[in-house]
């Protein structure tokens, strides 16, 4: 990671603090970077958090200090210097005017068909929103309120619904789960909270997009989503617009709780800055995502990952309740020097539990793309079933695709199926499309979308259309 | 005088990797309204000719010119040549998993329309067109919505090529052994389809090994391609003669 060093990061943060008038804030002046108990107390105090949450953070910090950064993933990067990062939620870099926004970013958003207003909103340029978007957001909130659905920032939830947060926080991803989860638990900035009451089917896709301007999500995002008995929700995280961030390290935690007979569909499009063509810069995305399924419930993860320099991410399901179902559908694209190590864990604890894993890796440039999956069948999980299919598509001869499937089966009644393929994008396929009038880029996009169809089909409609465009853009000039 | 649609002069081409010459000074002039048949022994360079004309990677043109409708096309990308009205029915059609035939064709058609600065086709008109054109080659409606060529039988693939040709309405169509792999009934149907698509403004080049196809689609000219050149040109009777005598007598 030459080029964008932690020193530069520090400089940038400093200058920003100045720019945003933080120098008047005595507390932040005292401890601009670094991590210790004092910093955690300040974070918690600034957010006016209750004592139990401060304790939660402090405990996590202790746990984190005992841990070492994991090295088993098939990725190489220079480890972040944790004492040189600012753990204050620095505001997102705002552009003074539309003219200051990176032209490349504008071009990408144009290609994605994002409207001018939305582009400004996404890049944080101050803008008077057209009435339309304001009223959409308002009516959206009214509708949720009618059904007693809670959908707000994590900080708000701590203030307004502390009992729910306290009951579920850390129950799916315990503090000690892994290095980054522990770090997140100690210093998380903000994120989303969602609660669907018993028997309620959420009538619309819940999207963090609606909240994007209300609170900067920051680098240590925390999401907690609880679907009470018999409820249903489809949740969308991220957006297809390219997201640049001055923070190099992102370590989010997402916890899902599906109580009896509930269903959660969680879709992600991740498009953080991947670094430039030489592999400089780019976000490290170390995410812990996990859901717990109670009796007869279902959690379905769908992800389209195109961004970040280094991705480390395994959305998982703990199938605790009998007859529960876990699904993982993933498309991970790496180009240039990107590295992704992603997959899932399906932990079968209950009887008649079922899991499906479909992973489509696409590697281009000099990138490395790994699938890592664990299927674990516990002794009491009678009649568990898993179907895993992981396919890799190579766009060049210089990239790498790897699969690391792990199976731990302790119950003989289990039925496990595993299929894996690796193929290179066919020049004859591209030529065939071109001969019918499609440009090379269109041809690649069509072929890749066809290849990912099973996963894209799982995304909500509008999201799927955007994701298709995103795949095409991520793979521009990628065949070699 | 009808106008010249495809004009190939002294075409020399070699395999890029090996530098092996395949086409060695080939001449061919195709006018609007004409049907040309190209026959010739295996490995003579018939498919290579189709590939080079349509711009496939891996071949280098070392000499000669290829003009379509009066304009040089050798500098154009394959998709631009297609947009200019060139169509190739592949000897071995390619499978594209996950992409429906319909989506594929609609994308192609709209790309071509955009290039010609025409409005994109509406979904309704497109579907009507699909129905009409698939009937032309008796293509099962189910195949139109399946992934491009995936799991199609050999004959179905060939039929699908002609269906695509019908949808895209090219000026110059090169059919590379479209008849091989077709059963007798299918051959008749596909040939009838091609005949219906043929008019005074377009041209068809049939690459084939069997004179039987030429009973159904009657060519104006029959050429023999051997060792990278057109070594003999005649009318339909030449095909009959070849069927009888083979290619040896030509040397
Ligand atoms: N990409 C390639 N790499 C190597 N050799 C090639 C390539 N393309 C064509 N050739 C060679 O060029 C020669 C001509 O091949 P081509 O496919 O054009 O023959 P054809 O006349 O179409 O034969 P057939 O009747 O069997 O279809 C053959 O010797 C073939 O092996
Ligand atoms: Mg051939």
pLDDT in tens, A202-211: 988 887 654 4
CA–CA distance, A309 with B228 (Å, rounded to integer): 51
Of B57, B90, B97, the CB nearest to A450: B97
Residue B147: phi, psi to the nearest 5? -60, 145
- Which one of B56, B88, B95, B108 makes the best mutation probe of the A interface by having the most chain A beta carbons within 10 Å? B108
Is B106 in CB contact (< 8 Å) with chain A? no
What is the per-residue pLDDT for A74?
83
Residue A139 clears pLDDT 80, i.e. is over it: no
- Which one of A433, A437, A450, A457 makes the best mutation probe of the B interface by having the most chain B beta carbons within 10 Å? A437
Residue A138 clears pLDDT 70, i.e. is over it: no
Of B78, B97, B107, the CB nearest to A435: B78
The ligand with the least distance to the CA atom of B48 is 1
Which residues surround the ion ligand 2 when the cut-off is CB under 5 Å? Answer: B 46-47, 91
Is B102 in CB contact (< 8 Å) with chain A? no
Does the Cβ of B60 fall within 6 Å of ligand 1?
no
Residue B82 makes CB contacts below 8 A (sequence gap 6+) with A434, A435, A436, A437, B54, B108, B112, B168, B170
**Which is higher by pLDDT, A426 or A161?**
A161
Is B61 in CB contact (< 8 Å) with chain A? no
Per-residue tokens: A205: 């896709």
Residue B182 clears pLDDT 80, i.e. is over it: yes
Does the Cβ of B47 fall within 6 Å of ligand 1?
yes
- Which one of A435, A442, A465 makes the best mutation probe of the B interface by having the most chain B beta carbons within 10 Å? A435
Residue A4 clears pLDDT 90, i.e. is over it: no
pLDDT band at A118 (very low <50, low <70, confident <90, very high): low
Atom of ligand 1 nearest to the CA of B48: 18
Q: What is the 3-state secondary structure (H, E, C) of A8-37?
A: HHHHHHHHHHHHCCHHHCHHHHHCCCCCCH
The ligand with the least distance to the CA atom of B38 is 1
Residues 148-207 (B) with a CB less than 8 A from some CB of A: 164, 168
Pocket test for ligand 1, best of B23, B40, B44, B48 (most atoms within 8 A of CB): B48
Of B54, B97, B109, the CB nearest to A435: B54
Helix (H) or strand (E) holding B217: none
Apex CA A249: angle with CA A248 and CA A251, to 5°?
A: 155
What is the per-residue pLDDT for A271?
79
Comparing CA positions, the residue from B2, B8, B24 lying closest to residue B67 is B8
**Which is higher by pLDDT, A341 or A478?**
A341
Is B116 in CB contact (< 8 Å) with chain A? no
Residue B195 clears pLDDT 90, i.e. is over it: yes
- Cα pseudo-dihedral A134, A139, A144, A146, rounded to 10: 140
Comparing CA positions, the residue from B114, B48, B162, B148 lying closest to residue A429 is B148
User: Ligand 2 mean position to B44 CA, how many Å?
Assistant: 8
CA–CA distance, A400 with A418 (Å, rounded to integer): 21
What is the per-residue pLDDT for A11?
47
Q: Is A437:B168 a contact under the CB 8 Å cutoff?
A: yes
What is the per-residue pLDDT for A109?
64
Q: Mean pLDDT score of chain A, rounded to an integer?
A: 80
Residue B181 clears pLDDT 70, i.e. is over it: yes
pLDDT of B76-129, one tens digit each? 999 999 999 999 999 999 999 999 999 899 999 999 999 999 999 988 899 999
Of B82, B98, B99, the CB nearest to A435: B82
Q: Is A319:A289 a contact under the CB 8 Å cutoff?
A: no
Is B94 in CB contact (< 8 Å) with chain A? yes
What is the per-residue pLDDT for A299?
97
Per-residue tokens: A391: 């396919």
pLDDT band at A426 (very low <50, low <70, confident <90, very high): confident
- The 3-state DSSP class for residue B174 equals strand
User: Ligand 2 mean position to A451 CA, how many Å?
Assistant: 29
Q: Is A297:A265 a contact under the CB 8 Å cutoff?
A: no
**Which is higher by pLDDT, A389 or A278?**
A389
Residue A23 clears pLDDT 50, i.e. is over it: no
Helices vs. strands in chain B: H and E counts, helices first:
9, 12
Q: Mean pLDDT score of chain B, rounded to an integer?
A: 92
The fraction of chain B above a pLDDT of 90, given in percent, is 75
pLDDT band at A20 (very low <50, low <70, confident <90, very high): very low
Is B98 in CB contact (< 8 Å) with chain A? yes
Does the Cβ of B46 fall within 6 Å of ligand 1?
yes
Q: Quickly tell me which residue has 């489509």 as its tokens.
A: A360
Residue A310: phi, psi to the nearest 5? -130, 125
Is B63 in CB contact (< 8 Å) with chain A? no
In this prediction, residues A255-262 reach a mean pLDDT of 97
In this prediction, residues A367-378 reach a mean pLDDT of 91
Q: Is A435:B82 a contact under the CB 8 Å cutoff?
A: yes
Nearest CA in chain A to B86: A435
Residue A258: phi, psi to the nearest 5? -110, 110
ipTM: 0.96
Comparing CA positions, the residue from A240, A197, A167 lying closest to residue A464 is A240
CA–CA distance, B49 with B227 (Å, rounded to integer): 12
Residue A341 clears pLDDT 50, i.e. is over it: yes
Which residues of A touch chain B, with CB atoms under 8 Å apart? 426-429, 431-440, 442-443, 446-447, 449-454
What is the per-residue pLDDT for A319?
97
CA A461 from chain centre, in angstroms, equals 19
Residue A351 clears pLDDT 50, i.e. is over it: yes
Highest mean pLDDT among A30-44, A344-358, B228-242: A344-358
Comparing CA positions, the residue from A329, A357, A356, A315 lying closest to residue A458 is A329
The fraction of chain A above a pLDDT of 70, given in percent, is 77
CA–CA distance, B80 with A387 (Å, rounded to integer): 43
**Which is higher by pLDDT, A33 or A232?**
A232
Q: What is the 3-state secondary structure (H, E, C) of B116-162?
A: CCCCCCCHHHHHHHHHHHHHHCCCCHHHHHCEECCCCCHHHHHHHHH
Residue A302 clears pLDDT 60, i.e. is over it: yes
pLDDT of B26-56, one tens digit each? 999 999 999 999 999 999 999 999 999 999 9
CA–CA distance, B88 with B105 (Å, rounded to integer): 14
Minimum mean pLDDT among A111-125, B173-187, B231-245: which range?
A111-125
Pocket test for ligand 1, best of B43, B90, B91, B213 (most atoms within 8 A of CB): B43
Give the full edge-to-edge strand order of the sheet including B221-226: B86-89, B172-176, B203-207, B35-39, B221-226, B229-234
CA–CA distance, A250 with A80 (Å, rounded to integer): 11
């Amino acid at each position: 990671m030459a080029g964008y060093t932690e020193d530069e990061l520090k400089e940038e943060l400093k200058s920003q603090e100045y720019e945003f008038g933080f120098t008047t804030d005595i507390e932040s002046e005292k401890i601009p970077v670094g991590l210790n108990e004092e910093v955690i107390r300040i974070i918690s105090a600034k957010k006016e958090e209750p004592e139990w949450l401060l304790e939660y953070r402090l405990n996590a910090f202790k746990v984190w200090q005992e841990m070492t950064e994991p090295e088993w993933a098939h990725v190489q990067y220079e480890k972040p210097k944790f004492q040189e990062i600012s753990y204050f939620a620095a505001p997102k870099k705002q552009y003074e005017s539309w003219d200051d926004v990176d032209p490349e970013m504008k071009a990408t958003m144009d290609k994605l068909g994002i409207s001018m207003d939305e582009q400004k909103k996404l890049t944080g340029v101050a803008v008077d929103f057209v009435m339309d978007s304001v009223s959409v957001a308002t009516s959206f909130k009214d509708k949720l309120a009618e059904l007693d659905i809670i959908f707000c920032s994590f900080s708000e939830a701590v203030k307004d619904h502390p009992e729910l947060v306290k009951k579920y926080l850390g129950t799916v991803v315990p503090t000690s789960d892994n290095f980054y989860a522990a770090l997140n638990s100690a210093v998380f900035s903000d994120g989303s909270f969602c609660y669907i009451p018993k028997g309620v089917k959420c009538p619309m896709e819940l999207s963090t997009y609606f909240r994007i301007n209300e609170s900067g999500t920051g680098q240590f995002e925390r999401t907690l989503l609880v679907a009470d008995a018999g409820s249903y929700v489809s949740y969308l995280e991220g957006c297809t617009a390219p997201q640049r961030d001055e923070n190099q390290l992102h370590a989010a935690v997402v916890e899902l709780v599906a109580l009896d007979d509930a269903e959660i569909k969680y879709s992600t499009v991740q498009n953080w800055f991947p670094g430039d063509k030489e592999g400089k810069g780019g976000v490290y995305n170390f995410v812990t995502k996990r859901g717990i399924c109670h009796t007869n419930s279902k959690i379905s993860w769908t992800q389209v990952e195109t961004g970040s320099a280094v991705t480390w991410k395994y959305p998982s399901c703990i199938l605790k309740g009998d007859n529960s179902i876990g699904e993982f559908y993933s498309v991970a694209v790496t180009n240039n020097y990107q590295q992704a190590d992603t997959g899932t864990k399906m932990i079968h604890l209950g009887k008649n539990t079922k899991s499906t894993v479909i992973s489509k890796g696409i590697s281009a440039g000099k990138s490395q793309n790994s699938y890592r999956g664990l299927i674990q069948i516990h002794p009491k999980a009678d009649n568990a079933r898993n179907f895993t299919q992981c396919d890799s598509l190579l766009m060049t001869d210089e990239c790498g695709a790897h699969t690391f499937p792990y199976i731990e089966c302790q119950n003989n009644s289990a039925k496990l199926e595993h299929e894996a393929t690796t193929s290179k994008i066919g020049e004859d396929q591209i030529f065939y499309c071109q001969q019918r009038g499609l440009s090379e880029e269109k041809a690649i996009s069509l072929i890749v979308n066809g290849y990912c169809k099973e996963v894209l089909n799982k995304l909500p409609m509008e999201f799927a259309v955007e994701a298709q465009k995103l795949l095409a853009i991520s793979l521009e000039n990628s065949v070699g | 005088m009808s106008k010249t649609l495809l004009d190939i002069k002294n075409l020399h081409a070699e395999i890029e990797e090996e530098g092996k010459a395949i086409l060695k000074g080939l001449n061919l002039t195709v006018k609007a309204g004409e049907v040309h048949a190209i026959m010739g022994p295996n490995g003579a360079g018939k498919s290579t000719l189709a590939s080079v004309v349509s711009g496939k990677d891996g071949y280098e043109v070392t000499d000669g010119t290829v003009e379509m409708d009066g304009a040089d096309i050798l500098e154009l990308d394959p998709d631009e040549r297609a947009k200019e009205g060139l169509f190739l029915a592949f000897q071995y059609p390619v499978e594209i998993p996950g992409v429906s035939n319909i989506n594929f064709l609609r994308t192609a058609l709209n790309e071509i329309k955009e290039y010609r600065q025409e409005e994109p086709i509406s979904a309704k008109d497109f579907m009507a067109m699909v129905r009409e054109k698939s009937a032309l080659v008796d293509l099962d409606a189910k195949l139109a919505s399946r992934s491009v060529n995936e799991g199609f039988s050999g004959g179905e693939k060939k039929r699908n090529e002609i269906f695509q040709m019908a949808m895209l309405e090219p000026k110059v169509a090169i059919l590379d052994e479209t008849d091989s792999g077709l059963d007798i009934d299918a051959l008749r149907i596909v040939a009838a389809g091609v005949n219906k698509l043929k008019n005074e403004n377009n041209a068809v080049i049939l690459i084939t090994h069997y004179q039987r196809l030429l009973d159904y689609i009657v060519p104006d000219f029959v050429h023999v391609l051997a060792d990278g050149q057109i070594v003999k040109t005649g009318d339909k009777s030449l095909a009959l003669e070849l069927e009888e005598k083979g290619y040896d007598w030509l040397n």
